[in-house]
Structure 1
């Protein structure tokens, strides 16, 4: 009896005891479903949250001149003053990084600004920021009404503005702000967009902000003047490559700023993925916990499978005796019972993997939108565990069957 015949005989035995096979396979299916389901849910939730965090800047980093937020001296020592990042330097960096990342430039134009409409004016608490064509996207700002700036408005510095919710409420109250005109910093601007309300945290935030094209901000600050310092935000598609791109950005920025070899950087790079790092840490703990729970369930399934295989050996004692009398060796008997156990585990495992994937993605869909994930790693792990469970659970019953005396087996009732 060769291996192929043993496999066929094992399949015939499984088909002959179909109900028992189904019930045994369900035991394994539940164990694999719990393992794959939990781990799929963790991966799917992580994917969904990663996408959300990426939209909040988790895949980006900021570059500013070093010491931009210094407040005088510390312990009697005056902090070193570093030169501002100029427009030429910021544009050169943007050009050099454009192939690997999306770079947004912005500049703080004015704070404590009074903004006027035809009939109303705000308190002197409005900030004005100049931003390029990627500014709104990089800062995760959404428009409640209106539109963003056109390429023409960015290039030629048109007098157009996007206002925050509080600015709109103060100046236009129940009127539509889009298309209206406001005045600040000695210029008259047309309102083309309104930001979504964000609340009054952090002194007003986006609600007390006005965004104008970056070129317009440069004109207000007088062309060629060194008053403005430019902030650079670099975003990449894949958060996993953030460290690599930050290293590349550091080298490019040192070259642009002409920082000498061995000299410390005259700029600061701050990554924005602290939430993503916390998520990775939490998801790691969840995966460990899910694996332990699934493993315990599988351990119970393996015990149940071993018990059923022992019952099968006792029921088929006469059959084993006949096969031995016909010349079957102990190895062939062991092989047959092992094949039965492994096939049952694989069939149950395939069903469990399918149910686990559906269950995991279903759980993840309840907390947020995300793509349908097939965790191939956990599929392979699940199938490997199925085979291992089949071998472990089937070996002792197979070994016991192979040691039966043929004469005693034939006399067994």
Structure 2
């Protein structure tokens, strides 16, 4: 009997005992559903949280001049202080990094400024920041109304501003601020957007609520008593690519800062990937736990399948005797029952994979805003496990069937 004939015989046997086959396949499908479903849910939630962490700046790093913050080394020894990063260096770094990451360049203009509009003014607690086109995204600031800076405004240094919600309420109340003018640091700016309320930031800074954002070129052209210090924040798409991009950025920044060969970096790079690292560790532990739960469920399914295959061998003892009398070998009998067990497992496993993927994505969607994830790895693992369970559960009943004596089998009633 060939393999194809064995498969046909397996389906014929399954069709003749349809209810028993369906119940057995359901047992297997529940085991596969629990395994694939748990692992899919973990992956989908991790994907969703990674996207959230990315929007919060988890997949990013900051570059600043080394020693410029006057932090002490161990033992209270002051480290060497290097010049701050200037405007030209920040622009060169952004151009050279290219598409490897999304670079946001900003400069601190003032920390206690007043804004005026007509006869109203804010308290002297507004931060004034000059930023480029990527500043809002990298800082996770969203616009409530209005728009971001246009490319022409960024390049020409136009007098436009985006203000925080608290600043808007102080100056305009419930009226719209879009298109109106405010006076800031002795100059008139047109308001083009208002930021969403973010609540108080760390240290009572007000977050985005007490912020006035102006184009980077505008801030660079404003009169000042001392040179501006430029901050560079680079965001990457995924946490996995962060180390590679950081290595690229280090080489580019050394060239931009003209650090000599063998000299230490004249800048510091600080990444914000601690949340992503903790998430990877936590999801790894959850996957181990989920795999164990799914494995235990599959173990119960394999025992049930073995029991049903034993019943099938007992019911078909006379049939086995007839096949052997007609010339079927022990190997062919064993193959027949093994293929039957594998077919049942694959049928149940296919249903379990569909249910598991649906369940995992449903759990992720219920917990948070997740995207539909197709876990090809877990689907392939599920199919491999189905075949393995079929072989493991069917081998003993198949061996028992192959060892039956044909004469005794023909006498069996």
Give the TM-score normalised by structure 1.
0.95
Q: Where does residue 306 of structure 1 map in the other structure?
A: 306
- What is the aligned partner in structure 1 of residue 240 from structure 2? 240
Q: 1:163 to 1:365 in 2, by over 3 A?
A: same
**Displacement after TM superposition at 1:71 (Å):** 5.7
Is the CA contact (8 Å cut-off) linking 2:70 and 2:78 kept in structure 1?
Answer: no
Tell me which residue corresponds to 2:46: 46
CA contact (8 A) 2:64 2:267 kept: yes
After TM superposition, the structure 1 = structure 2 runs for residues 332-351 of structure 1, keeping only pairs within 5 Å, are: 332-351=332-351
- Alignment partner, residue 158 of structure 2: 158
Output the CA distance in 2 between the equivalents of 1:242 and 1:76: 32
Q: Give me the whole-angstrom Cα distance separating, in 1, the residues matched to 2:72 and 2:296.
A: 60
User: Quick check: 1:220 aligned with 2:219?
Assistant: no
- 1:113-132: CA deviation from partner (whole Å, max 9, x where unpaired): 12222212222211110001
Give the match for residue 399 of structure 1.
399
The match for 2:319 is 319
Residues 338, 394 of structure 2: 8 Å contact kept: yes
**1:409 alignment partner in structure 2:** 409
Deviation sequence 1:126-157 (CA, Å, 0-9, x none): 11100012211221111111211122221121
- Listed one character per residue, the Cα deviations across residues 48-97 of structure 1 (whole Å, up to 9, x for unaligned) are 11112212222221111123432689866434321010111111111101
- Separation in 1 of the partners of 2:73 and 2:166? 36
Do structure 1's residue 262 and structure 2's residue 240 form an aligned pair? no
Asked whether 1:126 is paired with 2:126, we answer yes
Cα 1:343–1:317 shift into 2, 3 Å: same
Distance 2:271 2:153 in 1: 31
Aligned to 2:104: 104
CA distance in 1, matches of 2:83, 2:310: 81
What is the Cα deviation at residue 238 of structure 1?
3.5
Matched, 1:144 2:152: no
Aligned in 2, Cα 1:392/1:76: closer, same or farther, shift over 3 Å? closer
Instruction: Tell me if structure 2 keeps the 8 A contact 1:109–1:221.
Output: no
The answer to whether the 8 Å contact 1:44/1:361 transfers is yes
Q: CA deviation at 1:391?
A: 0.6
Q: Is the 8 A contact 1:112 1:127 kept in 2?
A: yes
Counterpart residue number, 2:212: 210
1:181 aligns to what? 181
How far residue 99 of structure 1 moved from its aligned partner, in angstroms, is 3.3
Cα distance per residue 1:313-362 (max 9 Å; x no partner): 11111111111122221111111111111111111111111111111111
Q: TM-score by structure 2 length?
A: 0.95
Tell me the secondary structure at the aligned position of residue 140 of structure 2. coil
Distance 1:58 1:201, change over 3 A: closer
Note the C-alpha offset of 1:279.
1.3
Query: Do the aligned partners of residues 247 and 226 (structure 1) sit closer, same or farther apart at CA in structure 2, a change above 3 Å counting?
Result: farther
Quick one: distance in 1 between partners of 2:341 and 2:68? Answer: 69
Distance 1:3 1:154, change over 3 A: closer
Are the equivalent residues in 2 in contact too, given 1:113–1:125 (CA < 8 A)? yes
CA distance in 1, matches of 2:121, 2:182: 9
Q: How far apart, CA to CA, are the structure 1 residues paired with 2:372 and 2:226?
A: 51
| Distance (Å, rounded) in 1 between the aligned partners of 2:77 and 2:324 | 94
CA displacement 1:199-225 (0-9 Å, x = unmatched) = 123221211111011111111145xx8
Identify the residue that residue 375 of structure 2 maps to in structure 1.
Answer: 375
Structure 1 unmatched runs, 5+:
none
Equivalents in 1 of 2:10, 2:41: separation in Å? 36
Alignment of 1:356-367 (within 5 A): 356-367=356-367
Q: Distance in 2 between matches of 1:336 and 1:359?
A: 34
Gapped regions of structure 2 (runs ≥ 5)? none
Match of 1:272 in 2: 272
Shift in Å, 1:384 = 0.6
The 10-residue stretch of structure 1 (173-182 or 323-332) with the greater mean CA deviation from structure 2: 173-182
In structure 2, C-alpha distance between the alignment counterparts of 1:344 and 1:70, rounded to whole Å: 70
**Contact 1:86/1:226 (<8 A) preserved:** no
Looking at structure 2, the residues matched to 174 and 217 of structure 1 have their Cα atoms a distance apart, in angstroms, of: 29
- What SS is found at the alignment partner of 1:107? strand
